[in-house]
Amino acid sequence: MKRWVNPEIVLGIALGIVLCLFVAVVLSDQIEHCGQINPQTAQTPSDKPQVPSATQTHKGGSDEKTEYDKSHPIACGVLGFVPSAIHYMDRNEGFFLGAFTLALFLATSFLWRSTEKLWEAGERQISLAKATAAVQAADTQATLRIAEASAKAAERSANTAELALVETDRAFVYFETPSIEAPEPPFTSDKKFIFHFTWKNSGSTRTIEGQGHASWQSFPAPLEESFTFPDLGARPGPIFVAPGGVTHMGPIDVPHDYVQRALDGETYLFFWGWVEYDDVFKGTPRHRSEFCLRLVLIDRRESVPSGQRGIVGLLNNHIHNGAEDECFKDVQTGSTKNPLPRPG
């Protein structure tokens, strides 16, 4: 708030008034007593009664001069101002002492008030600084939270972009349509059907340390839910699929009699297999894909010559078909990047 009265100006005006009053009183006292500098010229004729000078008679009626009056007569003029001031203050010592004490009290009071105002201003400044610091701290915390949220968002975006890159470019091997090679007629028990199982890599990177296996077996009834799809015959072997390429598993030779009984509906002929592999990216798990197929007669043709029964095909089984989390089994093989955990 704007101050209408400046205390420094008031104090300056008051001191000026006091100084002017002091000078006026001293000049008046000098005029009254300046004749004492030349007492011979100031004496009256002998025929007239002598009037005591003002320095001989004080206001209190005393004819006794002060020590300063005796040794320092007052001159009329500029040079007599200082002796006159000293003479006046010497005669009014009590007044000046009281006035000085009062002035000292007023100055001390003024100084105390100024100091109190300064202390109050300092307290307000400290309070304002604390409030400002609290606001700045809150703003800093908010800024840090925003920066942290932005960093997390950027990290999530980077992770999402990396995940998208991995999912798009990594090797992804899936089972393609198999092929069947039938023997030349006439069909006899010593002839065999040849089955080829194809795996294709839809990714733009290769597989690493791949393993795979394929099995077949004839059953008198459909597969039970408890069937475990064991690896029959030879042990699993290495498999490699180039980026965007295919690889064949097999061939598997099945005697004609097994195929014939399955097509006649007497038995159930199943084929199953799997592949496991790593991709080229760091920190990714080992992958697995599975298949399970049943041999069926799709189009029966009684008039087909040479004993042919029609068009045969392979249908997907309801389990043991899929990739990754859809697989019937977990990953069974390990690699350099993803070794199998040790038992126990």
238-273 pLDDT, tens digit each: 999 999 999 998 889 999 999 989 988 999 999 999
CB neighbour list of residue 169: distance below 8 Å, 6 or more residues apart: 203, 204, 205, 281
- Mean pLDDT throughout 15-23? 82
Residues 178 and 87 in one domain: no
Has residue 242 been placed in a domain? yes
Q: Which of 37, 60, 91 is the last residue of a domain?
A: 91
Q: How confident is the model at residue 30 (pLDDT cuts 50, 70, 90)?
A: confident
Give the side-chain half-sphere CA count within 13 A for 124: 6
Range 77-81, long-range pairs (CB < 8 A, 24+ positions): 77/34, 80/30, 80/34, 80/37, 81/26, 81/27, 81/30
Contact present, 69 and 87 (Cβ < 8 Å): yes
pTM for this predicted structure: 0.56
What number of H helices and E strands is found in the chain? 5, 10
Residues 198 and 299 in one domain: yes
Q: Which of 36, 66, 91 is the last residue of a domain?
A: 91
Q: Which residue has better confidence, 341 or 107?
A: 341
Residues 184 and 304 in one domain: yes
Q: How confident is the model at residue 44 (pLDDT cuts 50, 70, 90)?
A: very low
Residues 67 and 177 in one domain: no
Has residue 53 been placed in a domain? yes
Q: Which of 67, 91, 115 is the last residue of a domain?
A: 91
What range does the domain containing 49 cover?
7-91
Q: Which residue has better confidence, 169 or 8?
A: 169
Has residue 80 been placed in a domain? yes
CB neighbour class for 174 (10 Å; exposed up to 12, middle 13-18, buried from 19): middle
Has residue 66 been placed in a domain? yes
Q: How far apart are CA 23 and CA 29, in angstroms?
A: 10
Has residue 114 been placed in a domain? no
pLDDT tens digits for 57-84? 444 444 455 555 555 566 677 777 777 7
**Phi, psi (rounded to 5 degrees) for 37:** -70, -25
Q: Which residue has better confidence, 19 or 152?
A: 152
Question: Among 18-32, 54-68, 204-218, which stretch is predicted with the lowest mean pLDDT?
Answer: 54-68
Give the other-Cβ count within 10 Å of 193's Cβ: 21
Has residue 343 been placed in a domain? no
Residues 207 and 306 in one domain: yes
Residues 84 and 200 in one domain: no
Contact present, 172 and 323 (Cβ < 8 Å): yes
State the total domains in the chain: 2
Residues 186 and 85 in one domain: no
Q: Which residue has better confidence, 164 or 197?
A: 197
Highest mean pLDDT among 8-22, 50-64, 193-207: 193-207
Residues 76 and 211 in one domain: no
pLDDT at position 297 over 90: no
Q: Which two tokens stand for residue 89?
A: 């203050």
Residues 179 and 86 in one domain: no
Q: How far apart are CA 134 and CA 52, in angstroms?
A: 82
Has residue 166 been placed in a domain? no
Has residue 123 been placed in a domain? no
- Mean pLDDT throughout 141-158? 92
Residues 322 and 181 in one domain: yes
Residues 195 and 69 in one domain: no
**Phi, psi (rounded to 5 degrees) for 237:** -125, 165
Q: What is the CATH number of the domain that holds 240?
A: 2.60.40.10
